[in-house]
Amino acid sequence: MRRRWELGVVLAGAFGIAAVAPAPSSPGVEIQLFRFRPARLEVQPGTQVRWTNRDDITHTITGGTPEAPQAAFRLVLEGRGAVADGTFVERGTYPYFCERHHHMRGEIRVQ
Amino acid sequence: MSTGCGQTMAADSSAQTSGMALSSPAPKATGLKSALNTLFQEHVYLAAAATGAALDGREAEFKAAAGALDQNSMAIGRAIGSVYGPDAEQAFLPLWRKHIGFAVDYTVGVAGKDRAKQDKAVNDLIGYTRDFGAFLNSANPDLPTKVVADLVQHHVVTLKSVIDAQASKDQARAYTALRTAAGHMQAIADPLADAIAKQFPDRFGS
């Protein structure tokens, strides 16, 4: 089962999920064995990032950290094969984590 | 350090549990199965030691048992890491510790006769089994998520029986339940070892 999340909104002025077809060369983050791989990804402003869930369970891409979650963005990847795309439009560092598995943490650096 | 991970795990387990060294190298698959059985059964016995001490108010014993239980958790994590790498070990350990936390929550609920806390802990434990199944399925496609989840759910049920018997001061029932709970761990360890051996025949094949 493959699902795709496309939200045409820009949240908190920093993180947008673009409703466009992902470019084949878009950098991606694989979620496998309850880890984000790579855990840290550096991209340029306007780059679309794709998360792909390889685990047979729901994971979330939630802005911030478990200790200090941010409402800036939240995506739910419901099981194996689920994908979500996000376009980061402003420079900055965007930490994120999985709400169900707090040890799962990642970071997007927009430079 | 031996050349096969199965032997490494067996030696590690042996050192963790009894301090004895293997007198002769076991076949890799047998060593792997034996190591996992030892670690998982140790997990049950140490968990029961911790919950029994906690329910009886023996604080120093509880702390010691909880410490030993965490050492066992780390040994299981190392075993996973020896097969699937350090990233898997780092992801596995917090997941494994999580279910121990839920079991502690259940024990606290039983001690305080707090039904709501008990129910929440049981629900958390049941939910956790799905996570554990998914983790092992990700590591090894020969381990179906639901099958593993059901096996771990049975582990939860059998350990809950131990805790309930301990709380009611029925020692005979507690130890009978403890043997059942420990014995069930073979139903998890054996398929896990078999699946690993199938996945890495060069490293763990007979």
Give the model confidence (pLDDT) of A8-46 as tens digits. 323 333 444 443 444 556 789 999 999 999 999 999 999
Distance CA A102, CA A67 (A): 9
Mean pLDDT to the nearest integer, A47-73: 94
How far does the CA of residue A55 sit from the closest CA of chain B (Å)?
Answer: 6
A59 forms beta bridges with: A77
Q: Among the listed ranges A20-34, A44-58, B59-73, B125-139, which one has the minimum average pLDDT value? A: A20-34
Answer yes or no: is pLDDT of B166 > 90. Answer: yes
- Residues in chain A with CB shorter than 8 Å from the CB of B88 are 33
Answer yes or no: is pLDDT of B181 > 90. Answer: yes
The interface predicted TM-score (ipTM) is 0.79
Mean pLDDT to the nearest integer, B39-50: 98
Q: What pLDDT, on the 0 to 100 scale, is given for residue B27? A: 64
How far does the CA of residue A23 sit from the closest CA of chain B (Å)?
Answer: 27
Mean pLDDT to the nearest integer, A51-76: 94
Distance CA A79, CA A82 (A): 6
Q: What pLDDT, on the 0 to 100 scale, is given for residue B23? A: 38
Mean pLDDT to the nearest integer, B126-140: 96
Mean pLDDT to the nearest integer, A52-70: 96
Residues 6 or more apart whose CB falls under 8 angstroms from that of B88 comprise A33, B80, B81, B139
- Residues in chain B with CB shorter than 8 Å from the CB of A104 are 91
Q: Do A55 and B95 touch (CB under 8 A)?
A: no
Residue A10's nearest CA partner among A96, A87, A110, A106 is A87
| Strand A47-53, strand A83-88: pairing | antiparallel
A38 preceded by cis ω (within 30°)? yes
Which tops the pLDDT comparison, B199 or A27?
A: B199
Distance CA B146, CA B129 (A): 9
Q: What pLDDT, on the 0 to 100 scale, is given for residue B188? A: 97
- Residues in chain A with CB shorter than 8 Å from the CB of B97 are none
When computed from its CA atoms, the radius of gyration of chain B, rounded to whole angstroms, is 17
Q: Is A105 on the interface with B (CB under 8 A)?
A: no
Mean pLDDT to the nearest integer, B139-145: 97
Write the pLDDT tens digit of every residue in B5-37: 333 444 344 444 433 333 344 567 788 999 999
Q: What pLDDT, on the 0 to 100 scale, is given for residue B100? A: 97
Residue B152's nearest CA partner among B118, B125, B113 is B125
Share of chain B above pLDDT 70, in %: 86
Q: Do B134 and A104 touch (CB under 8 A)?
A: no
> Is residue B189 within 8 Å of B33, Cβ to Cβ?
yes
Answer yes or no: is pLDDT of B91 > 80. Answer: yes
Distance CA B179, CA B177 (A): 5
Q: What pLDDT, on the 0 to 100 scale, is given for residue B179? A: 98
Mean pLDDT to the nearest integer, B184-191: 97
Locate the chain A residue with the closest alpha carbon to B146.
A56
Answer yes or no: is pLDDT of B113 > 50. Answer: yes
Q: State the first-to-last Cα distance of chain A, in angstroms, to the nearest integer.
A: 34
Mean pLDDT to the nearest integer, A105-110: 96
Mean pLDDT to the nearest integer, A78-100: 94
Q: What pLDDT, on the 0 to 100 scale, is given for residue A25? A: 60
Q: What pLDDT, on the 0 to 100 scale, is given for residue B26? A: 55
Long-range pairs of B12-15 with CB within 8 A, sequence gap ≥ 24: B12/B75, B12/B78, B12/B79, B12/B82, B13/B38, B13/B39, B13/B75, B13/B79, B14/B38
Q: Which amino acid is at B196?
A: I
How far does the CA of residue B23 sit from the closest CA of chain A (Å)?
Answer: 35
Supply the mean pLDDT for chain B: 89
From the list A34, A37, A102, which residue is nearest B135 (CB)? A34
Q: Which two tokens stand for residue A88?
A: 């980061």
Answer yes or no: is pLDDT of B156 > 60. Answer: yes
